[in-house]
Structure 1
């Protein structure tokens, strides 16, 4: 009999349940305005992105900047993360106690690790939605941080690689099985 890891089910339910809490904090406490949006399809029809929302009015609170040029950028979209593993921790505690946490803390600021899948998710959203800047909202019951991430022009080459993978690897495997 197979064993299942129900931890991931709890994590998905937690994130789904609390994404609205994070967006409400972003809007009501931080002064932003967000419009819900659906899926955005790439012209190829095989890639899509679904950001947490479109930013109509940026927040007035303190923001962490992924790169210096983000200081001069206004967010176009948001992505929300409500980490189940850090649900009862501050973001600082999560960074320093959870081995695989996706943020790092350096010189007083939080950064999204550029080798983490969330970095690639956000870059994909920026490219597929044709936007320039994203506010990553990281929310726990004890804390909320915003990391402003700008589009990485070098990441563009991944779009062609993903489309090639889809047609040359994924579809043949799907047909074969």
Structure 2
């Protein structure tokens, strides 16, 4: 959703409110989301075991919704928080793509079609390294979560039964500040009036305040 909000236009406000505030077009899930949810715990345990190979003090904790008093308009639900006696706390984000349930994320080109690769979150850089695409929605997601939790690093995991891809992503303050400059005014100008006026469920156009509150 973070990437969608960064590129939303006034023409998309009504559909955004329908989808994400009033849940009028609520996504019921599909085989891919079901697979990802059922495998997340296994992936988290696999990640923790791998990290313990080099740091026995590593612990992964799950959590629910996080809010930051500095950014009360925003929230995030991380897949895990990683603590260690020898390293700073970091974010954990896990993806378990159904399209790779029989493949290796490190060698995704062998298992995915060209159209699947275009949609996939990873790509191979010019120097041959597999990495998260800079413009992918997951990059926006982890940067927003790091910003809200005030963390400097995120371990981004793509898991399959065959192997696990792990990339440590650094917090990008400029990217976070750009997102805040969009998200917070949009919340105050678009969502706050909608909370009270409920125009979208009444099939009316959203009300957009001309000033920030």
TM-score band w.r.t. shorter chain: 0.7 to 0.9
Which structure dedicates a bigger proportion of its chain to strand?
1
Structure 1 Cα separation of the partners of residues 188 and 148 of structure 2: 18
2:82 aligned residue? 55
Q: Deviations over 1:58-86 (max 9, x none)?
A: 9xxxxxxxxxxxxxx86611000001122
Structure 2 Cα separation of the partners of residues 152 and 45 of structure 1: 20
Structure 2 Cα separation of the partners of residues 88 and 149 of structure 1: 26
**1:56-71 to 2 correspondences below 5 Å:** 56-57=83-84
Match of 2:160 among 136, 140, 155: 140
**1:73-152 to 2 correspondences below 5 Å:** 76-95=90-109, 97=112, 98-99=116-117, 100-106=119-125, 107-152=127-172
Relative to the length of structure 2, the TM-score reads: 0.66
Structure 1 Cα separation of the partners of residues 160 and 89 of structure 2: 21
2:67 aligned residue? 41
Bigger drift between 161-170 and 110-119 goes to: 161-170
Q: Contact (CA 8 Å) 1:80, 1:137: kept in 2 or not?
A: yes
Classify 1:136/1:165 alpha carbon distance in 2 versus 1 (closer, same or farther; 3 Å): same
2:204 aligned residue? none
Q: Contact (CA 8 Å) 2:39, 2:96: kept in 1 or not?
A: yes
- Structure 1 residues not aligned, in runs of 5+: 59-72
Q: Deviations over 1:2-42 (max 9, x none)?
A: xxx98x52111111111111111111234142122222113
Aligned partner of residue 73 in structure 2, secondary structure: coil
Relative to the length of structure 1, the TM-score reads: 0.78
Q: Contact (CA 8 Å) 2:106, 2:165: kept in 1 or not?
A: no
The CA RMSD over aligned residues, in Å, is 2.3
Aligned partner of residue 46 in structure 1, secondary structure: strand
Shift in Å, 1:176: 1.3
Structure of higher CA gyration radius: 2
Structure 2 Cα separation of the partners of residues 108 and 129 of structure 1: 32
Classify 1:49/1:162 alpha carbon distance in 2 versus 1 (closer, same or farther; 3 Å): same
1:63 aligned residue? none
- Structure 2 residues not aligned, in runs of 5+: 1-26, 53-57, 201-213
Q: Where does structure 1 differ by over 6 angstroms across 4 or more consecutive aligned residues?
A: none
Aligned length: 158
